[in-house]
Structure 1
Amino acid sequence: MSEHMLRGPIEAILMVASEPVDAFELADVLGVSADDIDAELRALASEYLGEGQDHPRGFELREVAGGWRIYSARAYADVVGRFVVGSSHARLSQAALETLAVIAYRQPISRTRISRIRGVNVDGVVRTLMARGLVEETGLTPSGARLYGTTSEFLEKMGLTSLSELVPLAPYLPDADALDELEEEL
C-alpha cells in the first residue's frame, strides 16, 4: 500500500479511536510496516499544523501517551474552552476542574491537603474524578491517609505526554515550599 493510500485508513481509524493508537497497532491492521505508519503519522501531523497554509486547520494530530490521537488545535483552545465550559457539553464542574488542577500540580496529595488548598470539602469531587479515570490512589502517607495523583487518562485528555508539559504556574505565585510553609502556619 503506497503512503498516500495509507492516509485515508489512518485518518478513519484515528477519528473513531477512544484512546491514542500506536504505530504498531495501525501497522498490524493495515498490513504495512510500523516505520511506514510512523512516517505517515508524522507527515499528517505536520500537514494538520497548517505549515505553509494561510488558514490553519481546527484540529491537529498529536503523539501522546504512547500513541497518536486527533485533538482540537491549540490555536483554538480558548474558543473550544468557552464552548465546553459554557454549554451543556460541560463534562466537569468548576469544582472538579479546580480540584483536578490542585492534584495535577501538587501530586501526590491527600484529600485533606486538597481541601485545605481549596477551602472546601472535596471528598465527592475526588470520587467523581476517580470514577472518570482522571485521578487514582497512588499510595499512603505515614499516617495512613490516601494519596492521589493523575492518571494516563488525564494525560491523554489533556493532550500531554508527561506532567512536565503542564503550563507553569504564574511566576508571581509562591513556590511549592513557600505554599507548604504557609499551609502549616494556617
Structure 2
Amino acid sequence: MIADQPLDELILAAAVGYPPAEVAFALNELAQEYTAAGRGFELRNVAGGWRYYTREEYSAVVEAFVLEGQTARLTQAALETLAVVAYKQPVSRARVSAIRGVNVDGVMRTLLGRGLVEEAGSDDETGANLYRTTSYFLERIGVTSLDDLPELAPYLPDMEEIEEDLAAFGAQTAAGLHGQDSTTSTESTEAAQTEAAPNGEPT
C-alpha cells in the first residue's frame, strides 16, 4: 500500500523476514481470499511484482469520486495562495505564508495534488523548496503564458486614497500629541506656581 511500484517476492520476503517461497504462497492466498470475499480491492501479480488495485467492477464508483474531487471548486484560501504563487513564482512556502499571513502547507498540498502547482528547485540561500504554476494552470485559466496574466495594478488600492488616509492619520496623531503636550505644560505651570506661593497657597 505504501509502495509506488509493484514489489516482488524477494523484496517483500526481505521486508518481513520470511523465506520467499512462503511469502509467494501467502500472497496467492491473500489474492484468492480477497476475490472470494468480493472485496473492493484485489491483489495482483503484474509487471514482475505484487500490488493492490481497485476491483474492476467498482471502477465506475472510483472514477466518479476522482472526477468529482478534481472538479470541486477551490476554496478562497486556495485561490489566494495560487494567486501569490502565480505572481511571485518561483516562491517558497514560507514566502507565501508571509504574504498571506497564515500557514499554507495544507493548501499547497491541495494545489500540488490538483496539478496546478509544481516544485521548481530550491532557494540558493535558504535551501527551501520553490514552487511555480504548471501548464495545466495556464490551461485552466485560459491563457498561453504567464505574460498573459492580468496586471495587478487595477486591483490594488488607489494610491491617492492611501496618501489621503496617511495624511489624515498623521494630522490626527499630531493633534493628539499637541494636546497632550499642552496638558502637560499646563500641569507643569500650575505645579510651579503652587510651589512658589507662600504657605502653599496658589498665587
- What's the TM-score once normalised by structure 1's chain length? 0.44
The one of the two structures with greater contact order (alpha-carbon pairs below 8 A, sep at least 6) is 1
